[in-house]
Amino acid sequence: FRTMSTAPLDASKLKINKTASPKAKLPNEQLVFGKSFTDHMLTVDWDATTGWGAPEIKPYAGLCLDPSSIVFHYGFELFEGMKAYRDANNKLRMFRPDMNMIRMNKSAERIALPTFDSEELIKLIGKLVELDADFVPQGEGYSLYIRPTLIGTDAGLGIGTPSQAKLFVICSPVGPYYSTGFKAVTLEATNYATRAWPGGCGNRKLGANYAPCVLPQKQAASRGYQQNLWLFGPENYVTEVGSMNLFFAFKDSKTGKKELVTAPLDGTILEGITRDSILALGRERLDSNEWEVNERYLSIDEVAERALKGELLECFGSGTAAVVSPVKTIGWNGKDISVPLLEGKQYGALTKQFQEWISALQYGKEEFKNWSRV
């Protein structure tokens, strides 16, 4: 229904309007995730009859929208989360931005918002990061968090296919997720609320998937657990955590064989880019005589039973914010499953290995499959 004559997203049409009042940069130790933003933002408007308009980079400022805009009433909103890193040579790098763009387009398609040429948006984000380069902090664990967002902006309370949309990108300098090194987290295996279901949209990065998860998280917190581990179905399969995918490592006590497991992409979990990177690195770099790397269904009861047998080696979450996040305890059925950690440490050996492998790629200390883009 969108004719070929509508304009594609085109980075060469970019207009830049620089700020006249640059903000002071915060020292690294004062950076709080998503609290301070850079001087500029990128915006691009879309209209069904004309297509994508000229992209603009302009001073960071509020948006002016009609109160009847569909984003406020029917949840026409999706977003991405990605980062730019400053390498040892002061070059700025993005980690697998093409994957974020693929995922963003899938999210857009799912809620009938316009799709776009991934490479054009990567170029535009590159321009924004370049202009605000002074905000990209230096140091291991420091980065610029990039938040591309797409909303439906039609004014009017009728619900239907959006005919107007706004894409915008804002950036926030951030520090290491755990400022004092890894801190293992506690999860509550949750079957009293469901994050996503087959045929739903839990695999898309829609704002609508996040707000309903805050109340269960408060409930878990009231019992002393930091995050929900979302279970699914009568089998109580483990799916993912608050904003991370989840991995388990086991060692079979009979065969001695080790297994790295995460839930399969069956439509109910977010297609995490860190998850994909861990699977790829695991398959490439772990000794295949020792390890099997599997995407398969895994019930919380299997985790509990194998923990009791001493077969559970490690458990960690994966996501852009923390890379990997070691798990030490999972509350389930009124009991705690304990996850082993290295003696005196907050992590296991494999968790640490993946953290090192991935951050070496993010900070350009090493190259792998062109994942890091200067």
Q: Residue 53 in contact with residue 140, Cβ under 8 Å?
A: no
Least gap, CB of 371 to ligand PMP (angstroms):
13
The CB density around residue 370, as the number of other CB atoms within 10 Å, is: 8
Residue 107 makes contact with ligand PMP by CB under 6 A: no
Helix (H) or strand (E) holding 72: helix 70-74
Least gap, CB of 243 to ligand PMP (angstroms):
4
- Bridge-based pairing state of the strands 92-95 and 82-86: antiparallel
Rounded distance between C-alpha atoms, residue 192 and residue 228, angstroms: 10
Per CB under 6 A, the segment of 175-183, 239-247, 294-302, 332-340 that binds ligand PMP is 239-247
Which of 111, 150, 270, 281 is close enough to bind ligand PMP by CB under 6 A? Answer: 270
Residue 275 makes contact with ligand PMP by CB under 6 A: yes
Least gap, CB of 118 to ligand PMP (angstroms):
15
Measured CA angle at 289 (ends 316, 265), to 5 deg: 40
Helices 273-285, 349-362: crossing angle, 10 deg rounding:
110
Residue 278 makes contact with ligand PMP by CB under 6 A: no
Residue 244 makes contact with ligand PMP by CB under 6 A: yes
Q: How far is CA 144 from CA 61, 241, 245, 258, 262, in A?
A: 18, 23, 21, 36, 28
The CB density around residue 310, as the number of other CB atoms within 10 Å, is: 10
Which of 273, 293, 330, 341 is close enough to bind ligand PMP by CB under 6 A? Answer: 273
Q: Residue 362 in contact with residue 85, Cβ under 8 Å?
A: yes
- The CA radius of gyration of the chain, in Å to the nearest whole number, is 22
Nearer to ligand PMP (CB atom), residue 92 or residue 270? 270
Per CB under 6 A, the segment of 63-71, 112-120, 250-258, 316-324 that binds ligand PMP is 316-324
Residue 114 structure tokens: 């316009």
Residue 317, strand partner residues: 246, 325
Residue 243 makes contact with ligand PMP by CB under 6 A: yes
Find the length of the chain: 374
Residue 245 makes contact with ligand PMP by CB under 6 A: yes
Residue 302 makes contact with ligand PMP by CB under 6 A: no
Per CB under 6 A, the segment of 8-16, 29-37, 243-251, 281-289 that binds ligand PMP is 243-251
Residues 70-99 that bind ligand PMP (CB under 6 A): 81
Least gap, CB of 308 to ligand PMP (angstroms):
28
Nearer to ligand PMP (CB atom), residue 52 or residue 237? 237
Using CB under 6 A, list all residues that contact ligand PMP. Answer: 81, 240, 243-245, 270, 272-275, 318-320
